[in-house]
């Protein structure tokens, strides 16, 4: 397969939990023919999450460089090579990790967006859309929804292409100009 150089620098894949967004994003990466770098933000805190992470690794197969990084997106993205393509899965878990670590979300988000703009290679981001539900009943959940909505809007602004996945069906919300 030849290297596809004509792909958007930043792409965003949004969807709900278990919507098929990760599978869709993985296929976007594979179609480029570039060496694949996977930045995993999830941490295996319990047996269910360990099983889910293991299943994702099997699904991807051995042709990926995997970087497990729950917090430091700047270093993780900076470690990539210009000929690669990055799949960062997922922004929502990264945000959760930031909140649990009690880090400054606004500062971290701004640094992340600036890093994306300077990425040495194309990057596909996976993120959950959490704004379709009811208003949460507790302050931490409301804060999470607020931050997730803000980061998704910022990502959509800098992305050349944005997809929304529902029941495994992609809808293109933004195309490269």
> Annotated catalytic sites, by residue?
56
| DSSP state letter for 136 | P
The upper half-sphere exposure of residue 99, i.e. CA atoms within 13 Å in the direction of its Cβ, equals 16
Do 26 and 60 contact (CB within 8 A), yes or no? yes
Do 98 and 108 contact (CB within 8 A), yes or no? yes
Tell me the β-bridge partners of 88: 39, 125
First to last CA, the chain: 26
Please tell me the distance from the alpha carbon of residue 87 to that of residue 68, in angstroms, as a whole number.
12
Question: 3-class SS at 157?
Answer: helix
- Burial, 8: exposed, middle or buried (Cβ in 10 Å; 0-12, 13-18, 19+)? middle
In angstroms, what is the C-alpha Rg of the chain?
15
């Amino acid at each position: 397969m030849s290297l596809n150089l004509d792909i958007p620098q930043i792409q965003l894949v949004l969807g709900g939990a278990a919507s098929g967004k990760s599978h869709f994003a993985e296929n976007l990466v594979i179609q480029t023919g570039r060496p694949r770098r996977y930045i995993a933000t999830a941490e295996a805190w319990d047996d269910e999450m360990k099983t889910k992470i293991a299943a994702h690794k099997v699904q991807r197969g051995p042709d990926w460089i995997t970087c497990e990084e729950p917090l430091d997106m700047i270093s993780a993205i900076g470690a990539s090579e210009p000929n690669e393509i990055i799949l960062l899965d997922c922004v929502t878990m990264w945000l959760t990790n930031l909140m649990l670590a009690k880090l400054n979300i606004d500062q971290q988000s701004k640094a992340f967006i600036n890093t994306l703009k300077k990425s040495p290679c194309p990057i596909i981001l996976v993120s959950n859309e959490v704004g379709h539900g009811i208003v949460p009943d507790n302050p931490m959940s409301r804060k999470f929804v607020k931050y997730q909505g803000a980061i998704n809007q910022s990502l959509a602004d800098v992305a050349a292409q944005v997809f929304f996945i529902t029941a495994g069906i992609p809808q293109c919300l933004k195309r490269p100009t």
